[in-house]
């Protein structure tokens, strides 16, 4: 491609090992090019050069000179080897890049399974197999009237309207199907026609900040036909919800782009689910979507600015039914998407779905239900009363803001033990270690504390083996260069430990605030439910030892997987469950964490490592 002056304006970029090729304009960064061709490269900081999550290696070709951010991120040797930050680097010729697994948003383990309650299908949308009498000179009734009258008469229903797109194709379809078809009815409206005896399908989606899980459901029996997860493609515009909202506040035109990313992601999921079971997306006549309030708003196209400003108010909290085509979803044109209710700015319908799926909202309690993520929602259920808080736990437990942190992908250290001063670890897919994911990070903090390398205040002691000073900070070497093929050692730095202390203190403070608001003590908690991908894989014992969770016997903890996704599935097949979701959301009393008495004192105390309980803002050790 030549510009008017005859110079090359775009270059060809080869991405390895994914084997994708794309055109990159010289004014676009390598990160922008990767996202344009559909390659998921991490960009936790949204491309500002501070997170170092978008590392790539230039294998061939010339690129722009390293920026000051890159000079900070890499040693001269690494720069000489071609290591660069994709968000800071611009091509000067055609290039070939290597994208290491730790920079990829794909190849990631996505939690889609969860423990669920079984319910009898009680469908908001029904399919009726119908054969109609053909028109004749003695019976020349309009096609629509014929369909509605015969349908109502045969099935004793009261259908009286027909969706406009169905109406447009009805006459041709009835004749081409020889007056036999399946009529899809929602409330009192015909929303679709299908060939005779076509399976009726539904879609349930859990829209997470980091991951999106989708389930294709056979609506006749509630069975899951296929389930898949992807990384949320919006990650390219910021790892957490606040950075995405900030993007939109700074440039409002980004809101369309960010909505388009998630809609396209869900449509890709729909296609691959349907391909897996040999179905057509046009067979999907109902959908339920759950997510945190910001993801809900971004998906629907609602304003999000007010979510980031005190008092953090959602645009809408009640349940919504929106035409799928108005949202851009490629399923049957007459279908609707049901969005479960939100509770508050930072407690969304995913938390409601989790409470619905586990059934704990109806329990006597006290029960604590936690969904751990970049934003952690916690509820305490006691005698029919539900109180909830939201904790800004940040991305540390998903590998973000941790020097060698990564997502739960091939090569991530997911378990770690220290015995006799020896490090034992297990990686995902038993691959050579390239970084450390959330569950491994939690284990590491616990093991370093137990072995005395870190004190209760989180300080790394200088006089321990494997501890060194590097780039003006103390760090513990988990995996040395001699042990693996990564470019540099895998370490936990003093800064990482501080990030983890903040993350775990946020969660423990949330639990403590709920206990105090309900005049409960830790010992009274009958059960702690832990939901979400990170919560599924953590070693609860490690979480207890670092003081992230209350010091209770292990048998009081229950890890339930992706309960939000399970709740979405329940609501998809049951009108009663949709009504229950609305009623339970209305019963939740939300507490803004920062306004709780003793908040600051509790937060400081809960940042300490070890087993303890908090009383009136003071920490008491527990054996
Ligand atoms: S350093 Fe590249 S996205 Fe953050």
pLDDT in tens, 575-604: 999 999 999 999 999 999 989 988 999 999
pLDDT digits (tens, 9 = 90+) for 33-87: 887 766 678 887 878 888 888 999 998 899 999 999 999 999 999 999 999 999 9
Interval 500-528 mean pLDDT: 96
Specify whether the CB–CB gap between 405 and 396 falls below 8 A.
yes
- In this predicted structure, the answer to whether residue 226 has a pLDDT above a threshold of 50 is yes
Q: Place 98 in a pLDDT band, splitting at 50, 70 and 90.
A: confident
Interval 443-460 mean pLDDT: 96
pLDDT digits (tens, 9 = 90+) for 340-390: 999 999 999 999 999 999 999 888 989 999 998 888 999 999 998 999 999
- In this predicted structure, the answer to whether residue 6 has a pLDDT above a threshold of 50 is no
Q: Place 20 in a pLDDT band, splitting at 50, 70 and 90.
A: low
Q: Place 483 in a pLDDT band, splitting at 50, 70 and 90.
A: low
Q: Place 250 in a pLDDT band, splitting at 50, 70 and 90.
A: confident
- In the block, which residue shows the tokens 């539900």? 386
Give yes or no for residue 514 CB within 6 A of ligand 1. no
Paired tokens of 139 = 């019976």
* pLDDT value of position 536: 83
Q: Which residue has the higher pLDDT, 307 or 412?
A: 307
* pLDDT value of position 350: 96
- In this predicted structure, the answer to whether residue 571 has a pLDDT above a threshold of 60 is yes
* pLDDT value of position 39: 67
- In this predicted structure, the answer to whether residue 269 has a pLDDT above a threshold of 60 is yes
The sign one gets for the Cα dihedral 522, 526, 531, 536 is positive
Give yes or no for residue 51 CB within 6 A of ligand 1. yes
Give yes or no for residue 47 CB within 6 A of ligand 1. yes
Beta bridge partners of 467: 476
Q: What percent of the chain has pLDDT over 70?
A: 93
Interval 191-219 mean pLDDT: 93
d(CA 406, CA 402): 8
Ligand 1, atom 1, lies closest to the CA of 49
**CATH code matching the domain that covers 10-103, chosen among 3.40.50.300, 3.10.180.10, 3.10.20.30, 1.10.3210.10:** 3.10.20.30
Cα(51) to centroid(ligand 1), Å: 5
Domain boundaries, the chain: 10-103, 107-282, 396-500
Which of 202-216, 229-243, 446-460 bottoms out in mean pLDDT, i.e. has the lowest? 229-243
- In this predicted structure, the answer to whether residue 106 has a pLDDT above a threshold of 70 is no
Which of 200-204, 221-225, 357-361, 402-406 bottoms out in mean pLDDT, i.e. has the lowest? 402-406
Tell me the chain's radius of gyration from C-alpha atoms.
27
Beta bridge partners of 436: 405, 413
Q: Within a 10 A sphere around the Cβ of 397, how many other Cβ atoms?
A: 29
Which of 79-88, 140-149, 167-176, 421-430 bottoms out in mean pLDDT, i.e. has the lowest? 421-430
Instruction: Give, in words, the CATH class of 107-282.
Output: alpha beta
The segment with the largest mean pLDDT, out of 14-18, 43-47, 99-103, 115-119, is 43-47
- In this predicted structure, the answer to whether residue 236 has a pLDDT above a threshold of 70 is no
Average pLDDT for the chain: 89
pLDDT digits (tens, 9 = 90+) for 541-562: 999 999 999 999 999 999 998 8
Instruction: Name the nearest CA neighbour of 408 among 104, 17, 113, 34.
Output: 104
Which of 191-205, 281-295, 461-475, 478-492 bottoms out in mean pLDDT, i.e. has the lowest? 478-492
| Ligand 1 atom nearest to CA at 86 | 2
Helix and strand numbers (H, E) in the chain are 17, 29
Give yes or no for residue 85 CB within 6 A of ligand 1. yes
Cα(104) to centroid(ligand 1), Å: 12
The sign one gets for the Cα dihedral 121, 125, 128, 129 is negative
The residue to mutate among 29, 33, 40, 48, having the most atoms of ligand 1 within 8 angstroms of its beta carbon, is 48
Which of 107-116, 279-288, 610-619 bottoms out in mean pLDDT, i.e. has the lowest? 107-116
**Max Cα-Cα span within the chain:** 100
Give yes or no for residue 45 CB within 6 A of ligand 1. yes
Cα(582) to centroid(ligand 1), Å: 40
Q: Which residue has the higher pLDDT, 211 or 65?
A: 65
Same fold? 10-103, 107-282:
yes
* pLDDT value of position 51: 85
Cα(459) to centroid(ligand 1), Å: 28
């Amino acid at each position: 491609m030549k510009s008017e002056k005859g110079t090359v304006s775009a270059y060809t970029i080869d991405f390895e090992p994914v084997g994708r090729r794309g055109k990159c304009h010289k004014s676009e960064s390598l990160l922008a090019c990767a996202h344009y061709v559909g390659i998921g490269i991490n960009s936790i900081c949204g491309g500002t050069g501070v997170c170092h999550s978008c590392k790539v290696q230039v294998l061939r070709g010339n690129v722009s000179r390293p920026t000051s951010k890159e000079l900070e991120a890499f040693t001269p040797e690494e720069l000489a080897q071609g290591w660069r930050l994709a968000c800071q680097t611009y091509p000067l010729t055609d290039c070939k890049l290597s994208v290491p697994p730790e920079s990829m948003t794909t190849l990631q383990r996505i939690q889609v399974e969860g423990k669920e309650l079984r319910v009898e299908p009680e469908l908001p949308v029904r399919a009726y197999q119908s054969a109609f009498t053909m028109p004749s000179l003695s019976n020349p009734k309009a096609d629509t009237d014929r369909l509605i009258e015969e349908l109502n008469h045969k099935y004793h229903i009261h259908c009286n309207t027909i969706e406009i797109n169905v109406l447009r194709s009805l006459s041709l379809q009835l004749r081409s199907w020889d007056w036999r078809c399946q009529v899809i009815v929602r409330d009192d409206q015909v929303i679709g026609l299908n060939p005779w005896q076509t399976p009726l399908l539904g879609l349930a989606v859990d829209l997470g900040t980091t991951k999106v899980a989708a389930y294709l459901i056979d609506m006749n029996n509630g069975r899951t036909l296929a389930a898949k997860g992807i990384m949320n493609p919006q990650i390219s515009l910021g790892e957490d919800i606040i950075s995405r909202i900030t993007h939109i506040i700074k440039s409002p035109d980004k809101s369309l782009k960010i909505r388009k990313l998630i809609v396209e992601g869900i449509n890709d999921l729909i296609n691959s689910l349907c391909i897996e079971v040999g179905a057509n997306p046009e067979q999907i006549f109902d959908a339920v979507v759950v997510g945190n309030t910001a993801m809900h708003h971004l998906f629907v196209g609602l304003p999000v600015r007010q979510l980031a400003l005190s008092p953090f108010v959602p645009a809408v909290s009640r349940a919504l039914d929106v035409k799928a085509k108005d949202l851009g979803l490629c399923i049957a044109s007459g279908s609707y998407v049901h969005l479960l209710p939100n509770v508050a700015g930072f407690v969304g319908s995913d938390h409601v779905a989790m409470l619905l799926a586990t059934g704990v909202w109806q329990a006597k309690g006290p029960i604590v239900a936690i969904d751990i993520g970049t934003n952690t929602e916690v509820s305490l259920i006691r005698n029919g009363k539900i109180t909830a808080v939201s904790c800004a736990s940040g991305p540390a437990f998903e590998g973000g803001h941790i020097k060698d942190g990564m997502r739960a992908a091939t090569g991530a250290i997911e378990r770690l033990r220290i015995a006799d001063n020896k490090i034992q670890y297990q990686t995902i897919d038993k691959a050579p270690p390239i970084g450390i994911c959330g569950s491994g990070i939690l284990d590491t903090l616990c093991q370093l504390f137990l072995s005395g390398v870190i004190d209760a205040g989180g300080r790394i002691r200088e006089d321990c083996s494997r501890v060194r000073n590097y780039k003006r900070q103390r760090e513990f070497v988990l995996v040395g260069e001699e042990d693996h093929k990564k470019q540099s050692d895998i370490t936990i730095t003093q800064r990482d430990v501080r990030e983890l202390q903040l993350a775990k203190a946020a969660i423990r403070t949330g639990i403590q605030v709920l206990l105090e608001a309900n005049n409960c003590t830790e010992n009274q908690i009958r059960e702690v439910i832990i939901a979400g991908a990170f919560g599924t894989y953590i070693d609860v014992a490690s979480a207890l030892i670092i003081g992230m969770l209350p010091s209770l016997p292990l048998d009081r903890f229950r890890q339930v997987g992706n309960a939000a996704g399970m709740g979405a599935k329940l609501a998809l097949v049951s009108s009663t469950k949709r009504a229950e979701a609305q009623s339970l959301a209305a019963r939740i009393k939300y507490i803004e964490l920062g306004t709780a008495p003793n908040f600051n004192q509790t937060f400081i105390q809960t940042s300490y490592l070890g087993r303890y309980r908090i009383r009136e803002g003071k920490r008491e050790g527990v054996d």
